[in-house]
Amino acid sequence: MNQTFKNILSFVCRFALSGLLLWWLFSKIDTKKTTDILKTADMNFILAALPVYFVIYYILLVRWFVYVKALNLKVPFQTVFRYFSIGVFGNLFLPSAIGGDLIKIYGLCKDSTEKPKVVASVLLDRLSGYAGLVVVASIAFVFGYRWINDVSLLLLIVGLAGGWGLVMAVLLNKKLYAGCCRVFSIWPKVKESIMKMHYDIALLDHKARALWQTVALSCLAQITYALVFYLFAKALHQDVRMIYFLIFVPLISVAAAFPSIGGLGVREAGAAYLFAKVGVDSGIAVSLSLISFLYMVLVGLIGGVIYVITLSSRRVQHYQPDPGVSPKEA
């Protein structure tokens, strides 16, 4: 089975998963009732959410750049911004957020000789995002427990926290990390690169400030994302406490990480399941998520435009003739 066929099969499977989930969701909701509510949506709230949505991506960009600087990668902010934007664009059609991470790694590796540090910056960026997600959901659940006493939510949050703790324990413990790396023994170069990445991550033990900064930025991003959903709910005339969004939206973000087309379908299923716990109609919950997806597409397309513009400028610079050489000599 060649790589091209695998890529096509992977895309078809993700597309099928998104399509089937959306079909199942729309078969369960009252489309007429949902359409009537959407027709009366308050556009002021929806438009107010747009700049807030852009703030989220700015926070995420700064978070990654903090790790780039902490690992002493000699990469300018403009380059980090370029590959971050292209990664956001890639998230629209690659395997959720993981695809965007691969683009960031591939792009930054072209501008840096320290590949293990590049991988470490993206991995740590992803893990700090996961940490912020767990922190916000956990604190919100503690404060919102009197309104939503749901054991399944508690178990889910505890499970996420445990998973994050396990991954961090492996990354920061040399013996555990080396033990996990044994599976790569048949590929010595790969194993060597992965071990180098551990050394780079271990260096951050002496840079606790960077770690705390990125976790704080992750929490801020999750709170801002919850605010976006809250504004969408206000636009659809839903009177739901903000505390619920602080609990549910981070969990919806976890669902969106499953392989699909930009998290489409999986995210909506998560929204319908979670918001049903506080009496929100499934059609409205799905609508909240779909409006958010439209904003994600908008930001992603801007990333695509940045890719095209910067690609064109790089080609011009690459083919620009030496000013000291005449056209005939060239």
Domain-by-domain residue ranges, the chain? 36-309
Contacts 24+ apart (CB under 8 A), 21-26: 21/260, 21/265, 21/266, 21/268, 21/269, 22/264, 22/265, 22/268, 24/269, 25/265, 25/268, 25/269, 25/272, 25/282, 25/286, 26/286
Residue 225 clears pLDDT 50, i.e. is over it: yes
H helix runs in the chain, sequence order? 3-28, 31-39, 43-70, 77-90, 96-110, 115-144, 151-172, 174-181, 188-203, 208-235, 242-256, 266-275, 282-319
Nearest-CA neighbor of 90 among 305, 293, 308, 300? 300
**For residues 87 and 44, what is the distance between their CA atoms, to the nearest angstrom?**
30
Average pLDDT over residues 183-210: 68
Residue 193's pLDDT band, with cuts at 50, 70 and 90, is low
pLDDT tens, position by position, 52-107: 999 999 999 999 999 999 988 889 999 999 999 999 998 887 755 577 888 999 99
pLDDT of residue 330: 40
pLDDT of residue 195: 67
Average pLDDT over residues 171-198: 69
| Percentage with pLDDT > 90 across the chain | 38
pLDDT of residue 112: 82
Residue 317 clears pLDDT 80, i.e. is over it: no
Average pLDDT of the chain, as a whole number: 82
Residue 302's pLDDT band, with cuts at 50, 70 and 90, is very high
Between 150-159, 171-180, 195-204, the lowest mean confidence (pLDDT) is in 195-204
pLDDT of residue 117: 87
**For residues 302 and 88, what is the distance between their CA atoms, to the nearest angstrom?**
9
Q: Which residue has the higher pLDDT, 248 or 318?
A: 248
pLDDT tens, position by position, 239-276: 999 999 999 999 999 888 776 666 777 888 889 999 99
Residue 315 clears pLDDT 90, i.e. is over it: no
pLDDT of residue 275: 94
Q: Which residue has the higher pLDDT, 201 or 85?
A: 85
pLDDT of residue 36: 79
Residue 200 clears pLDDT 90, i.e. is over it: no
Using only C-alpha atoms, the chain has a radius of gyration, in whole angstroms, of: 22
Residue 168's pLDDT band, with cuts at 50, 70 and 90, is confident
Structure tokens at 77: 């902010």
Are the C-beta atoms of residues 141 and 247 closer than 8 Å to each other?
yes
Residue 180 clears pLDDT 90, i.e. is over it: no
